[in-house]
Amino acid sequence: MEKIICDKIARITKNRKKLEERLKVKIDNSGKEITITGNPEDEYIAVKVIEALDFGFPFSIALLIKEDDLLFEALNIKDHTRRKDLEVVRARIIGKKGKTLRTLTELTKCHFELKGNQLGILGDPEHIRYAQESAISLIRGAKQANVYAFLEKHQVKPVFDLGLKPIKKKKKK
């Protein structure tokens, strides 16, 4: 049994039936406290999905944690900068009309959400590392172009053949 505190409890209670069905757990709430009961593995995944929903990710993207084995990580902006004007730092991450955030999403294949002074990243374990590094670079003041160049240089290459598939034999005529 896991217990977590949620600020956006309405999002969870509104979608409770769908969450219980897809995550295979029982969800109860008392005020802002949510209790999750079920198999320990399912509980862990349900906690991550609910944390992502509470952070502000859309319902369909938060459920990708279960379906596609994605990870959810949260970065605290204050941990990576000494600046006091955090609005400027958040603006650097978002970019003009959201362009920086969209470009980061395309290059890292991860989903980003800003909530106060925290940046939520949801993506594959291989991609999350570079997404975190690029976000920290932006927070510390690196130029966007340099961050994009770093991401383009360090693209994760998909593995096509591990030698595990049987080789198809050609038919004789």
| pTM over the 0.85 mark | no
Question: How many whole angstroms separate alpha carbon 5 and alpha carbon 22?
Answer: 21
71-153, CATH topology level? Ribosomal Protein S8; Chain: A, domain 1 (3.30.1370)
Computed over every residue of the chain, the mean pLDDT equals 88
CATH of domain 2-67: 3.30.1370.10
What are the residue ranges of CATH 3.30.1370.10 in the chain?
2-67, 71-153
Q: Would the pLDDT of 164 be above 90?
A: no
Place of tokens 């340099």: 146
Residue 140 has a CB neighbour count (10 Å cut-off) of 13
pLDDT, one tens digit per residue, over 53-79 is: 999 999 899 999 988 888 999 999 999
